Amino acid sequence: MPFSMGSKGCIGQKFAMAELQLVVATLVSKYDFAPTAKMNIRQEFGGITTRPVHVEMTVRRVQAPSA
């Protein structure tokens, strides 16, 4: 576990998680993410859920709305 747990856990964990949420929210609001046209999404079993493997993405900057 990256931040450890219990009384000896990382004191910066909450800050790091909040910063991560902010970064993801900023990226999602400013960019459009889509799988490439040739992409064949393969799923891999990860215990309880499945996850995509080797996803190729096209990233485009979103145009700001005009006022």
Per-residue model confidence (pLDDT) at position 50: 79
What is the chain's percent helix, strand, coil content, to nearest 5? 30, 25, 40
Q: Is the confidence at residue 67, as pLDDT, over 70?
A: no
Which pLDDT tens digit goes with each residue over 52-63? 778 888 999 998
The pTM is what? 0.62
pLDDT one-digit tens code per residue, 9-47: 888 888 999 999 999 999 999 999 988 887 677 777 777
pLDDT value at residue 26 = 94
- Of 27 and 3, the one with more pLDDT: 27
